[in-house]
Structure 1
Amino acid sequence: MSLKARITEDMKTAMKAKDAPRLAAIRLLLAAVKQKEVDERHELDDDATVAVIEKLTKQRKDSVTQYAAANRQDLADAEKFEIAVLAAYLPEKMSQAEITAAVATAIAETGAKGPADMGRLMAVLKLRLAGKADMAEVSQRVKAAIS
């Protein structure tokens, strides 16, 4: 079953259970996926759907920090709930050791020697780790490794 089909089935389940907050979050996700499909004029595969989910999750995390800074805990809690719903559709994240090993392997393959090679190294790692690891964390590991 594709990721999009799984999300649609979860939407139906939320409707039947009358779980309004979960249903709203899933509908938001499906709307974002549909918008991306309309923009690109083709149906999204699982990898592209994961990219949409990651984008929405990042937006929600940014909103949580903004709401917390404005002392709007009610809105921050709503965003955190949406993050939890979205996280259920993301693939399992890599461990710290796996990320470190992937960075070391990429450095060995590309022959990166210093900060000037970071862009090339990150391009290789992004292809391998997209959806599996937080790319900001990967970037920090790369900086530490090639410094």
Structure 2
Amino acid sequence: MLRERLTAEMKAAMKAGEKDKLSTVRMIQAALKDKDIEARVSGSGTGQIDEAEILALLQKMIKQRNEAAGVYEQGGRPELAASERSEVAIIASFLPQQMDEAETRAAIQAAIAETGAAEPKDMGKVIAALKAKYAGRMDFGKASGFVKETLAGK
């Protein structure tokens, strides 16, 4: 499970003296605790978010850091951009192998057939089916463009 892997990586980073990795893993665990508390307060489930939600959280963290790195580069702060990019690399190491474009398009075709989507207004159903099956493995920003393109071409 991903939670145990995070704990093990944190311990290994402490022992190895890897300060950057340690702070990034601690940041991930803090975000996880926030989400767990949010789940507990809302009364949904066990009070802990599941694996798919953890993967979605990691992807959101990566997106935030990539955006911040872009802002830092535009602002002439390459050292801060490099710091954000190193955090992205560490966070990405906890995600499963990302699907390439061909695999993504094949999964989209299968999801369209499965949901019976026939026009662009059915895009939400297709994306929901993809998120249920491929959380953490698919870039949904790119996938939504492919879904729109595929449904418009039908």
Same fold (TM over 0.5): yes
Matched, 1:35 2:34: yes
Please report the TM-score for the alignment, with normalisation by the length of structure 1.
0.92
Q: Distance in 2 between matches of 1:117 and 1:64?
A: 34
Q: Distance in 2 between matches of 1:110 and 1:45?
A: 24
Matched, 1:142 2:142: no
Give the counterpart letter for 2:95 in structure 1.
L
Q: What's the counterpart of residue 86 of structure 1?
A: 91
Shift of residue 21 of structure 1? 1.1
Matched, 1:75 2:80: yes
Give the counterpart letter for 1:17 in structure 2.
A
Q: Which 4+ runs in 1 deviate beyond 4 A?
A: none
Q: How many residues align?
A: 146
Please report the TM-score for the alignment, with normalisation by the length of structure 2.
0.88
Q: What's the counterpart of residue 4 of structure 2?
A: 5
Give the counterpart letter for 2:17 in structure 1.
K
Deviates more, 1:79-88 or 1:44-53: 44-53
Describe the superposition over 1:86-140 as per-residue Cα deviations: whole angstroms up to 9, x where unpaired. 0110011112111111111122233322222222222222222221100011111
Q: What's the counterpart of residue 129 of structure 1?
A: 134
* Coordinate RMSD, CA, aligned: 1.4
Gaps of at least 5 residues in structure 1 are none
Q: What's the counterpart of residue 55 of structure 2?
A: 50
